[in-house]
Amino acid sequence: MKFRGKIIDIACLNHFTRVITTISKLTKTCVLRLTPDNLFFVLSGKVANGGVSMWCELSQANFFDEYQMEGVSPEDNEICLEVTPENLSRALKTIQNAKAVKVKLTKKHCPCLTIAAELPTLSSISRVVTHDVPVDVIPRRLWNEFKEPSMPDFDVSIYLPPLKTLKNIVDRMKNLSNFLVIEANLSGEMNLKIETDLVSVTTHFKDLGNPPWGDDASQDGGPSQSRDPEAMAQARVDIRKLQQFLMGQQVNPSKAMCNIVHERGRPPDSAA
């Protein structure tokens, strides 16, 4: 098992750091899956995670200038590691001005991801900072749990309003209730509703736009063409989980999508 990568572009380093920092706000540990073309940060939706699952796919070419990996075996050319994203985030945050950052899988006192950065200095010789982040290698037999989740058949897919706005609203609603109902329709309208014995509050959003799944939808999902555009699909979620997701966002996505499966007891998926 080998892995070596090198980032030399400051913008890429910055973006990579922000993605990892976002993930570190969502969960204490997660799985890093390395394949020849991609890096995946996966949190599988077990009970231990409160039912929250996360799937983050990064194309390695977008970040790394050099990237070499050799998986567990030629047939299973992947590496699965359990990491603490906060450690990675801490390691990366202080080296944002590096000339080059190398990430390697190493074995020190335990398997580690070693992040070595060359920092610019006034003299000709660079400063070197090395962080050894301990990781756990995940054996092949457990790899099933970390496969890409299939997108369920959703009823409605809609672009979310600016996440900051959403966060402000959800923060305030959290004081009133533990559960929130998200509903949206295919006309770009979305409502956030809470209802308690004493009070009910609804926030309405309009003109959000719906992602065009249409013919491109190669997945099982895809809104049925016959669905009434005004009909709302609803799902009830735990506010705190939603808030946790919104709090961590540092990536400033260009688009955030929400797919709702109507009252299926499955929380909506949000993809950025």
Partner 1 sequence: MNCILEGSGVKAFGKAIHALSRIGDELWLDPMVKALALRSVNSAHSAYACFLFSPLFFLHYSLGSASEQSSETIKCKLAMKSILPLFRCLTSIERNVERCQISIGTPDDRVMIQFFCRHGITKTHNLRFQESEALQAVFAPHLCPNVLKAPARLLGDMVMHFPVSQEEITLSMTSQRVSLKNYYEGGNDHMKTMCTEMSLHPDEFDYFQIGVESDITFCLKELRGLLSFAESHCLPVSVHFGAAGKPVCFSVDDIVLEATVVLATLSDSESRGSSQPTETLAPSTPKCADAAVLPVGWCDGSKAQDSPAVMEMIPSSQGSPITNLPALMLLRPETDDPNGRGVADEAFASATLSPASSMICSLLFRASQQDDDGRAARLPVLACYSDEEENLEVDNTRSPSL
Q: Please select the residue that binds partner 1; options are 131, 173, 180, 223, rule is CB under 8 A.
A: 131
Q: Which 230-249 positions form the footprint of partner 1 (CB under 8 A)?
A: none
181 is written with which tokens?
A: 């109902």
The DSSP bridge partners found for residue 40 are 33, 57
Instruction: Out of 110, 219, 231, 263, name the contact with partner 1 by CB under 8 A.
Output: 110
In angstroms, the CA 60 to CA 64 distance is: 6
Q: Among residues 90 and 241, whose Cβ is nearest to partner 1? A: 90
Question: Residue 39 CB, nearest distance to partner 1 (Å)?
Answer: 19
- 124 half-sphere exposure, CB direction, 13 A CA radius: 0
Nearer to partner 1, 127 or 172 (CB): 127
Rounded to a whole number of angstroms, the minimum distance from the CB of residue 78 to partner 1 is 24
Under DSSP, is residue 32 helix (H, G, I), strand (E, B) or coil? strand
Q: Could you say which of 59, 62, 68, 121 contacts partner 1 (CB under 8 A)?
A: 121
Query: Is 215 exposed, middle or buried (CB count within 10 Å of its CB: 0-12, 13-18, 19+)?
Result: exposed
Instruction: Supply the DSSP symbol for 63.
Output: T
DSSP 199-239: -EEEEEE--------GGG--SS----TTS-TTPPEEEEEEH
CB 180 within 8 A of CB 242: yes
Query: What are 137's two structure tokens?
Result: 């290698």
Q: Is 188 in the site for partner 1 (CB under 8 A)?
A: no
Q: Choose, by CB under 8 A, the member of 61, 128, 142, 231 that binds partner 1.
A: 128
Nearest to 243 by CA among 176, 156, 173, 191: 173
Q: Establish if 96 lies at the interface with partner 1 (CB under 8 A).
A: no
**Near partner 1 by CB under 8 A: residue from 4, 90, 262, 266:** 90
Q: How far is the CB of 6 from partner 1 (least distance, A)?
A: 19
One residue of 8, 100, 129, 251 binding partner 1 per CB under 8 A: 129
Find the shortest distance in angstroms from Cβ 217 to partner 1: 43
Which residues within the stretch 60-79 sit at the binding site for partner 1 (CB under 8 A)? none
Binding region for partner 1 (CB under 8 A): 84, 87, 90-91, 94-95, 108-110, 112, 121-125, 127-134
